[in-house]
Amino acid sequence: MTTTIAESLQLLQHADGEAAIVFDRARLPQAGYGLFEPAAWGGEARPVGERGGRGAAWFVRGEFGEAVLRHYRRGGLVARFNRDRYLWRGADRTRSFAEFRLLAELRGLGLPVPAPIAAGYRRRGLTYTADILVQRIPGARSLAELLGDDLDAPPWARVGEVLAAFHRAGVCHADLNAHNILIDPECAVWLIDFDRGRRRRVADDWRHANLRRLQRSLLKLRGIHAVEAVMRCHRVIVAGYESAWAGEAA
């Protein structure tokens, strides 16, 4: 699945300041900021209901195929007074450009992430808002959704193996939870939502912290399932992870 992205940059102006879009010209010959406006898609933009509760993602379809449009929104306490603005620190450090380029890099490494299609920011003074458009994985369901079904259905060991591949490449996912792991109809495992993700020197502390974060997410979303049943699933993830990690190190 090793691929490269033919990146193009387009600078724009809007009523309050400047804007810019970076996009894959192989998938999108030209781009305007209307690409990131759900209203511009009319009935083609459908809210993504189960993702994280911030109401900032939509399924869309265009010449590039099916995609997910996401508007970056704040979380936690800061969201009470600042819903979606971030401090300007330069175009290359915007949340959207950083995620677009990280996804392109990971695709180049052959890791299972959605292809980035376009990303943009709108700057006003010392702050900006941001948006990203990425490939939708056809027929995929999140691990969070699958938790509502038979616990034997998800490929738990394979999840661990895929996480080991990301960690071996030094990829630290900033929010590794059950919503951000997708299983497609062929039982292939994908990771999504790399906002604030980065590549770093491989170290045991952040590797294990990633796995613990996933464990907390599975327990939080376990629904009717017993804690021990979910813990067994997590142990299978860890076993798959450790097996793959040891195999790659051999």
Task: Supply the Cα-derived Rg of the chain in whole angstroms.
Answer: 19
Q: Residues in the chain, how many?
A: 250
Measured between alpha carbons, how far is residue 38 from residues 47, 119, 230 in Å?
Answer: 9, 14, 37
Residue 131 is a catalytic residue: no
Question: Which residue do the tokens 């804690």 mark?
Answer: 227
Tell me 6's DSSP state: -
Mapped onto helix, strand or coil, the DSSP state of residue 46 is strand
The 8-class DSSP code of residue 192 comes to: -
Counts of helices then strands in the chain (DSSP H, E): 5, 13
With beta carbons less than 8 A apart as the criterion, state whether 195 and 175 touch.
Answer: yes
Q: Which two tokens stand for residue 18?
A: 């400047």
Q: Name the catalytic one among 24, 131, 175, 184.
A: 175
Q: Which residues are catalytic?
A: 175
